[in-house]
Amino acid sequence: MPSQPSRWQELSFWFDSLPEPVVPRPPLSGDLDVDIAIVGAGFTGLWAALTLAGRDPSARVAVLEAEVAGFGASGRNGGWCSALFAASPGRLARLHGPGEMHRLRRAMQDTVDEVGRQAGHLGIDCHFRKGGTLDVARSPAQEARLLSNLGEARSLGIGEDDLTWLDASAAAALLPASGVRGGLFSPHCAAIHPARLARGLAAAAEQRGVQLFEQTPVATIHPGETAAGRRPSLRSPYGAVRADTVVLATEGYTARLPGRERDLVPLYSLMVATEPLGDDMAAQVGARDGLTFTDGRHLLVYGQVTADGRLAFGGRGAPYHFASQIRPGYDRVPRVHAALGAALAELFPALGEVAVTHRWGGPLGVHRDWYPSVRFDRSSGIAFAGGYVGDGVATTNLAGRTLADLVLGEESDITSLCWVGHRSPRWEPEPLRYAGINAGLLAMSAADRAEARTGRPSRLAGRLERITGG
């Protein structure tokens, strides 16, 4: 008789396909005194812990995780290790100048390769395959928008090596989806198995001497006051932790911390995975060798063909929940999962009735200005990184290395990047943010329907994109 899947296997296809069962590490068992305490064992916290322990082997580093390492977005995302940054190049250039925009872009591109190098060095088989990403146009409106994006990129000095327009035949040769009119290709993306990476990073951190306490939720965080000699501290149900530095790596779960309810909102992204396609069906999809793909619609979809030949496909569209609530029941929304299945069938009608074997989702973190940040307030001893808006698989590695430099007081090329020290405005109180966010999601969905019907770009969607980081 087959055994029942564990609650960890049910988190996502990625957790279900781990080579070993997830066995939670013991929780904290009493008060603790360390040099650096990290809250959250997702990619940000684990990269920071690994880097800190590697730079200073004598440092006492502890990571506290409410569930298990990789439980949040790190173990549930689309598996895109991408150079995409949530704020667009045009916006970065307007805010910081073209030079600083290009510095951050180059750092993100280097980070994609750094993740692959580090995974290899640490012996983590996370199925890293750098095949680039293709954004296809499947309607006149999408084609016009992608060509406009290309024109802006060229005006900012982004060349053919970083972003290339493929005509209909070249784009369809990479991704034989229905109605392809052309597409934008970037080489700066790798497909990965994110849960393998997260669990591997956790094991590697322990091997470097990091203490990792799972099933240890943090209830409160108290900033320190360096001038008065008071260190920051945090409290869990199992004990208090005092440290010289506390790193918040809580991303979409930040709103659960007292006093931080309006710092980031948790927006849900949902995914499906199909049965293994087999060689004949896989040929109808293309997208092998690590190619990731999306199309030019407003309500984002994203996909890859996994190392074992499945289609892993996700998208936005799940509602924001009042007062930034996060519950297991929100991970599966039948309406949205059905829409994802329908979108797959529309993209690849040659697949026929391919079976969907996994349905899941989870929250990601979004700042009010849709701009990620990493920072360290030495006077309080509190460091933070997050707000990746779903583009965090690579960005977390850059964040972890930057946090290590900031905490250790080391100036470097990455500590002067334009996202370091950025502070976003707080979200509006309820019910304003509930109404505003869900109205925006509905407007994007309506814009996609209108464009499919008329073939013309939506003006409303254009205005919303300028608000959300365009």
Provide the whole-model pTM: 0.96
The pLDDT value recorded for residue 5 is 67
CA distances from 422 to 237, 246, 281, 385, 418 (A): 32, 18, 46, 10, 8
| Planar angle of CA 275, 276, 279, nearest 5 degrees | 140
247 contacts 415 by C-beta, under 8 angstroms: no
DSSP summary character for residue 368: T
The pLDDT value recorded for residue 1 is 39
Question: Before 457, cis peptide (omega within 30)?
Answer: no
The pLDDT value recorded for residue 470 is 53
Q: Which two tokens stand for residue 182?
A: 């052309």
**Domain residues of the chain, as ranges?**
22-129+191-264+367-426, 133-186+265-365
DSSP string of 76-105, one letter each residue: TS--EEE---SS-HHHHHHHH-HHHHHHHH
Q: Give mean pLDDT in consecutive 10-residue pieces for the chain, a chain of 470 residues.
A: 72 97 97 98 98 97 98 98 97 98 98 98 98 96 96 98 98 95 98 98 98 98 92 97 98 96 97 92 81 92 95 94 97 95 91 91 97 98 98 98 98 98 97 96 89 77 56
Candidate CATH numbers 1.10.443.10, 3.50.50.60, 3.90.1300.10, 3.30.300.30; the one for domain 22-129+191-264+367-426: 3.50.50.60
The pLDDT value recorded for residue 464 is 60
**175: region left, alpha or beta (phi > 0 left; psi from -120 to 50 alpha):** beta
- Residue of 44, 47, 49 lying closest to 63 (CA atoms): 49
Question: Distance (Å, rounded) from C-alpha 170 to C-alpha 181?
Answer: 10
For the stretch 157-162, contacts whose Cβ atoms lie closer than 8 Å and that sit 24 or more positions apart, written own/partner, are 157/98, 157/102, 158/89, 158/105, 161/187, 162/105, 162/109, 162/186, 162/187, 162/188
- 133-186+265-365 folds as D-Amino Acid Oxidase; Chain A, domain 2 (3.30.9)
Q: Facing residues of 330 across strands? A: none
* Residue ranges in 23-139 assigned as alpha helix (H): 43-55, 89-96, 98-121
The pLDDT value recorded for residue 2 is 45
